[in-house]
Amino acid sequence: LDGHDDDAAYLSSQLHARGYAPTPQLLSHEATVMLKDRMSKLFRGEFETGIYPDEWHWREGISKPNAAREICNAWKSDRKIAAIVLNEK
Give tens-digit pLDDT for 13-33.
989 999 988 877 888 999 999
Residue 28, CB half-sphere, CA atoms under 13 Å: how many? Answer: 5
Nearest to 75 by CA among 49, 56, 57: 49
Query: Mean pLDDT in the chain?
Result: 90
Query: Does the predicted model carry a pTM greater than 0.85?
Result: no
Q: Find the mean pLDDT for residues 52-67.
A: 94
Region for residue 24 given its phi and psi (left: phi exceeds 0; alpha: psi -120 to 50; beta: otherwise): beta
When pLDDT is cut at 50, 70 and 90, the band that residue 4 belongs to is low
